[in-house]
Structure 1
Amino acid sequence: MYLDNDLESIQEARQNLERAKIAQNAISNMTQDQVDQVVHSMAQAAMREAGRLAALAVDETGYGKMEDKMTKNLFSAKDVFESIKGKKTVGVISRDDEKKVWEVAEPVGVIAGIIPSTNPTSTVIYKALIAIKSRNAIVFSPHPSAAKCTKETVSVLHEAAKRAGAPDGVISCITKPTLASAQELMNHKITDLILATGGPGMVKASYSSGKPAYGVGPGNVPVYIHSSANVQKAARQVVHSKTFDYGTICASEQSLVVEKSIKRKLKRELEREGAYFLDDYEKKRMEQIILRNGSLNPDLVGKSPQMLAKIAGITVSDDTRLFVAEETNVGKSFPFSLEKLSPILAFYTVENDEEANRICAELLELGGLGHTVGIHCEDEKIIESFGVKQKASRVVVNSGTTFGGIGATTGIAPSLTLGCGTLGNNISSDNIGPEHLINKKRIAFGIREMKNEVPTRDVRSTENVSSNEENNITKADIMEIVKNVLKELNYK
């Protein structure tokens, strides 16, 4: 019998949500120790399977590099776990003895987890860990092109959670995802919150669902290379960061903004690290393939430089790691100035920090407001001035922005959902963690009495009374005046 794909996927979404609701009621009654045992079991399982899941993701999606996706899986399973394992998410989580206020954690309920095709397995690991840590159930909606690897990752985590005592159905996945099932998941009455990672359309749909939602924005990340920078170190970090998983992380560098005084030196160091500077002809060829119908060409996302060269019709050596093109303009008509999600960088030359600030601001305005900027610099005054001026939620200093933005090489909370704040039409500018997936109720003790204020006498009224008293006007005097007036009017 023929079954409609949309209807089948919608029914699966509903069934998963119903199971998740029952499971969430059960996990909400678990103690902190019980929850932590479940999360630890999940993290251990994800670490054991990191390589296999990475290979599945590359084989299915065609995006990125297996070894880098394995590193991302391990980042989610290890770094994220280490950052959240000591957090209190059950019962009283804080006590303010001075103000006599206790904060109590309550889970938000059932979460809809929207998963992208670029980082499917690592994002599932991260979202599942923070959801269970905060005693929520989560139902995943994969990108159709990453359905199998997402399903397998969910299966690994779900089995590990159950072995440690979690209820069945607390983590689940739509196995035959469609747009209809994603919409059903986000809009269903059982869903309490949406955790969305993906393209602008899907993130916008999550905000339009009427449900509370954490989303992300595009990351057109500019990086300022100041004249005081350690140029050799900066070049090494930029190339490593930008080529990691072939540029699929949204916090990866998109444009370098370089002071003229160090341009030649930086160019040499970049070339030494495997960067290839395109000539005018090659730049035009590459420009023609970056966009398709005004949007980023999906055939370029997460592809190797050699594959990009083949698509563009140019020839490069096998050891080329990154394409760089010199650019002077910023705008939608200049593809190199946009987010590219592949090992392609724009290179701007500026005279000073004032011009660098302006170019970086224009690049963010074009497509990365609220996300991330980077700076390589040894002058703290310049760093502070740059960081204060730029409209980004993360300012990564002397580190690759791919790793710095997600908290792998900086002190920022490790995360794969990077909020962009209201600048990027997001509700939060944080790196999202379990603390964002709880409701906090306050137990507040009375510490003072409410006093009623005594109203003061009207100044004008007081003056009138004083005036009457000074003139000795009595009630009898007023009656006599009235009687005389009536006589004059011939009243008897």
Structure 2
Amino acid sequence: MNRIDNDLLSVQEARILVENAREAQKVLAAFSQEKLDKIVGHMAGAVCKHARELAVMSCEETGFGKWQDKFIKNVFASDFLYKNIKDMKVVGIVSEDTEKKTMDIGVPVGVIAALPPSTNPASTTIYKALIAIKSGNAIVFSPHPKAKRTITKALEILIRAAEESGMPSGAIGYLRTLTIDGTTALMNHKDTSLILITGVPKLVRAAYSSGKPTIYGGPGNGPVFIERSADLKQAAADIIASRTFDNGIVSASEQAIVAEECIADEIRRELRDNGAYFMSEQESEQLGRLFFCPDGSINPEIVGRTALELARRSGLCVPQETKVLISEQTYVSSTNSYSREKLCPVLAFYVEKDWLNACEKCLELLINEGMGHTLVIHSNNENVIREFALKKPVSRVLVNTPATLGGIGATTNLFPALTLGCGAAGGGFTSDNVSPLNLINIRKVGHGVRKLEDITDGVLKREAAEIGGDISSAVQNSVNGTHDLIELLERLLEQLK
């Protein structure tokens, strides 16, 4: 009975939250970009002061990752993000071409339903709230049940700061009674304009079935190719640093290394020097049994755990300094645990004869899982880099950088984001690092600059010239010139009407 009551309560709460958000958004829609920026700046500054507290709280509540790295992500999602968007023009006139007499006007989509993950609960919540208000939208969150306390704390800080700066009450809201029915009601409400999901795969189908536009940051399974011209020492250091960042739970991070045969031994040596442990076939099988549940979903017990914890859980004896566990593989298949995304510091290792074969192996891995997400290449050969960039079904190609930090825009100039679109290849409609620009519609304004007859004038003149040439030819070359001449003149008159 209590569960039924909670379902009904959650559904009713979702309806009220969206209705309040709708009314608040009508007020926000009238705000200038300057006024919205003032609110966003206050929000970012307030929540950044709690970055460490939220990081510790997240680890204590979920058991995932490292608080030190979550602290970095929280600063990234607040202070660093704000610095990157504060001068961005998103609402009102965003561009104007006085010569062509056109204008683009940014129009908020309305009310956004947001589902943050348990893996990056505080940082993703902060990021989504900031880009929503920046673009003049209201946003209602359904916190992840495993990170409810952390997400709620972050939202309370953000709401208080925003309302102190003039944001209308209700523009940011969240479900307090969490049920599947309530979250579904939130997504299906007639006044919900867009759904923004990051890392909650069990609710993606429900989001798409709502008929609402859905931006989904899907699973990554990014391969990293190390080509013979790469700085091998730097590549190995980058990969280990990336795969251990927050214990491997960022979707952009490397999942499988593909190395050219001629440098494979040196790569193994560099990886070992950076804390990698290469498992035997039997050890790989032991660890592989832990990765997934019988229904194919990832086992939450391995998510965000250290290499030493994973080794202990699977009965492996590894050196105390081990940071990453690596399994040498040959084939890619849907039944091979090492061919899929693993949210922990584990890597597959493939050796290919040359870059052309490596290219095919990367493609196999992406087709198996992770289409549309991310590919990494370590190389100083611009031709090879270009070939990989041109031909891989991904939304991000990262070059000579740790994937975890490069993919989200920390060590690259990609937009700083914690929702990474996977495009059509990954079943979404944007391939962007999701920004405020993805949360608006563009209203096009165009002044009249020509008349309809201007479009056909050139064609008619050309045809007239051609007919004139035919008349001259008919007069000079045909015995029946008079008949042909009359016929051509009639054609000319018809074209000039």
Task: Measure the CA separation in 2 of the matches of 1:469 and 1:283.
Answer: 88
Task: Report how far residue 112 of structure 1 moved.
Answer: 0.4
Q: Do the aligned residues in 2 keep the contact of 1:144 with 1:176 (CA within 8 Å)?
A: no
Q: 1:468 to 1:46 in 2, by over 3 A?
A: closer
5 Å matches for 1:40-51?
Answer: 40-51=41-52
Q: Which residue of 1 aligns with 2:403?
A: 401
Give per-residue Cα distances to partners, 1:34-76, cap 9 Å, x unaligned: 1111000111112101111111111111111111111111111
Task: Measure the CA separation in 1 of the matches of 2:34 and 2:392.
Answer: 42
Q: Which residue of 1 aligns with 2:88?
A: 87
Q: Do the aligned residues in 1 keep the contact of 2:116 with 2:200 (CA within 8 Å)?
A: no
| Partner of residue 447 from structure 1, selected from 446, 449, 452 | 449
Query: Residue type of the partner of 1:261?
Result: C
Q: Which residue of 1 aligns with 2:388?
A: 386
5 Å matches for 1:10-89?
Answer: 10-89=11-90
Q: Which residue of 1 aligns with 2:315?
A: 313
Report the aligned-residue RMSD: 2.1
Q: 1:314 to 1:451 in 2, by over 3 A?
A: same
Q: Do the aligned residues in 2 keep the contact of 1:148 with 1:175 (CA within 8 Å)?
A: no
3-state SS of 1:30 partner: coil
Query: Residue type of the partner of 1:396?
Result: L
Task: Measure the CA separation in 2 of the matches of 1:468 and 1:412.
Answer: 67
5 Å matches for 1:271-282?
Answer: 271-282=272-283
Q: Do the aligned residues in 1 keep the contact of 2:114 with 2:195 (CA within 8 Å)?
A: yes
Q: Do the aligned residues in 1 keep the contact of 2:199 with 2:219 (CA within 8 Å)?
A: no
Task: Measure the CA separation in 2 of the matches of 1:374 and 1:63.
Answer: 25
TM-score, L = length of structure 2: 0.90
3-state SS of 2:255 partner: strand
Task: Measure the CA separation in 2 of the matches of 1:62 and 1:303.
Answer: 8
Task: Measure the CA separation in 2 of the matches of 1:57 and 1:31.
Answer: 35
Task: Report how far residue 91 of structure 1 moved.
Answer: 1.8
The worse-fitting range, judged by mean Cα deviation, of 3-12 and 14-23 is 3-12
Q: Is 1:284 matched up with 2:285?
A: yes
Q: Which residue of 2 aligns with 1:377?
A: 379
Q: Which residue of 1 aligns with 2:151?
A: 150
The worse-fitting range, judged by mean Cα deviation, of 240-249 and 277-286 is 277-286
Task: Report how far residue 90 of structure 1 moved.
Answer: 2.9
Task: Report how far residue 432 of structure 1 moved.
Answer: 0.7
Q: Do the aligned residues in 1 keep the contact of 2:275 with 2:324 (CA within 8 Å)?
A: yes
Structure 2: stretches of 5+ with no match in the other structure:
475-479, 487-497
Task: Report how far residue 78 of structure 1 moved.
Answer: 2.0
Query: Residue type of the partner of 2:47?
Result: A
Task: Report how far residue 176 of structure 1 moved.
Answer: 2.5
Structure 1: stretches of 5+ with no match in the other structure:
471-492
Stretches of 4+ aligned residues off by more than 3 angstroms: 452-457, 466-470
Q: Which residue of 2 aligns with 1:137?
A: 138
Task: Report how far residue 468 of structure 1 moved.
Answer: 12
**Who wins on radius of gyration, i.e. which is larger?**
1
Percent same amino acid among aligned pairs? 44
5 Å matches for 1:56-455?
Answer: 56-293=57-294, 294-451=296-453
Task: Measure the CA separation in 1 of the matches of 2:98 and 2:431.
Answer: 29
Task: Report how far residue 469 of structure 1 moved.
Answer: 12
The worse-fitting range, judged by mean Cα deviation, of 190-199 and 417-426 is 190-199
Alignment length, in residue pairs? 467
Task: Measure the CA separation in 2 of the matches of 1:445 and 1:220.
Answer: 47
Q: Which residue of 1 aligns with 2:494?
A: none
Q: 1:468 to 1:58 in 2, by over 3 A?
A: closer
3-state SS of 1:46 partner: helix
3-state SS of 1:419 partner: coil
Task: Report how far residue 222 of structure 1 moved.
Answer: 0.3
Task: Report how far residue 203 of structure 1 moved.
Answer: 2.3
Query: Residue type of the partner of 2:98?
Result: D
Task: Measure the CA separation in 2 of the matches of 1:240 and 1:449.
Answer: 62
Task: Report how far residue 306 of structure 1 moved.
Answer: 2.0
TM-score, L = length of structure 1: 0.91
Q: Do the aligned residues in 1 keep the contact of 2:115 with 2:200 (CA within 8 Å)?
A: no
3-state SS of 1:296 partner: coil
Give per-residue Cα distances to partners, 1:397-422, cap 9 Å, x unaligned: 00011111111111111111111111
Task: Measure the CA separation in 1 of the matches of 2:13 and 2:113.
Answer: 13
Q: 1:142 to 1:468 in 2, by over 3 A?
A: closer
Task: Measure the CA separation in 2 of the matches of 1:469 and 1:404.
Answer: 73
Query: Residue type of the partner of 1:332?
Result: S
Query: Residue type of the partner of 2:159?
Result: H
